[in-house]
Amino acid sequence: MAFKHTLGIASIPAINQYLAQAKSEGIDVSAILRELSLSEAIFADNNRHITGAQFQSLIMALLQCSDNPLFGLHSSRFVRPDSYSILGFIATNCATFDEAIRKIQPFEQLVGDMGVTKISRGATTTQIQWHCQYTEPDVVRQMVDNCLSSWLAFTRTIIGPQYHPKQVLLRQPSPSLQTQQHYQLVFNCPVLFNQSVDALVIDNALLSVGLTHADPARLGSLESQAHSQLKLLSQLESTSEKVAMLVSAQLNQGLPKRALIAAQLNMSEKTLQRRLKAQKTHYLAILDKVRLTRVEELLNLPGLSLVQVSQLNGFSEPRSFYRWFKQMTGHSPRHNKEKTARINPIDL
């Protein structure tokens, strides 16, 4: 059973656009963060990340409190160069608009794993497509709106306020005529719905436009930093996922020790600790997450007693399992058992 981290991570600068929009609407952001067990201090540090799953839950919570169906579209007014982490500064220091958009694909992972950009060039126009990787339809629509309108807002800061796309393509169904007119007002161009992709369509003549803040020397330095960050991010993610998979595979034989996991990864315990700490996690947090995922799946299987579930997750005796589960979830494993009515009763 592999540890799944399908939604990846999201950078704090990218998230703060949504929080700024929520605050402008009078939404109690602090209360929402508390409800989701997210510390407000995290969102004051542009070098931090949260998981994609947490970001998706956060957007869903904000949408539930907002009466604004165009929440994502309007949040783009809070975009700044640092909203794209180091990628925003790289784009600003490029010589031409063409060079700037070619930097998106190599470095967009530094902003997060929210989506994938594809540049499709034609004879007279170029499509800058974005595919959102999140799973909740309402969240996807708001994130697509935010992404495309944020690109436009940012582009206007590096080219000039006169810039507008030739067309905007959206996969979402056609909204009301009034809403369509609002989209066209924001993008200052025709907006087409029910399309096969989400994209900005630009005239190829714009590709040669020079950027006012171009600085080749600074660009080289920024790209070097970005490559280092990508390497570290890749290393940290692979380390975390490998630890989780090794832990999951060995829980049946008892509680896997950190020293053993480090040895299997051909590194010292200190190196393992340092890499996980840099990713804002640690061995026990991964162990707890893997265990909880396994336990919740096993509790839904027929014919397994709580003792067996306990043993299959490396607990030496059922009472330790009971206390751990209660601490992690706020209720007893018996609560899950009675809810599913598929586990043999046993006294703990």
What does each of the 348 residues of the chain score in pLDDT, given as a tens digit?
Answer: 333 345 777 889 999 999 999 999 999 999 999 888 788 888 988 878 887 888 999 999 999 999 999 999 999 999 987 888 899 999 999 999 999 999 998 999 889 889 999 999 999 999 999 999 898 999 999 999 999 999 999 999 888 888 899 999 999 999 999 999 999 999 999 999 999 999 999 999 999 999 988 999 999 999 999 999 888 777 666 788 888 878 887 776 778 889 988 887 878 999 999 989 888 899 999 999 989 988 888 887 777 888 888 888 888 888 999 999 999 998 888 776 555 554 344 433
Rg value, the chain, Cα: 24
Q: How many CB atoms lie within 10 A of CB 259?
A: 11
The span from the first CA to the last CA of the chain, in angstroms, equals 27
Rounded Cα–Cα distance for residues 277 and 3 (Å): 18
Distance CA 214, CA 331 (A): 58
* Domains in the chain with CATH codes: 9-214 (3.90.1520), 219-340 (1.10.10.60)
User: pTM (2 decimals)?
Assistant: 0.69
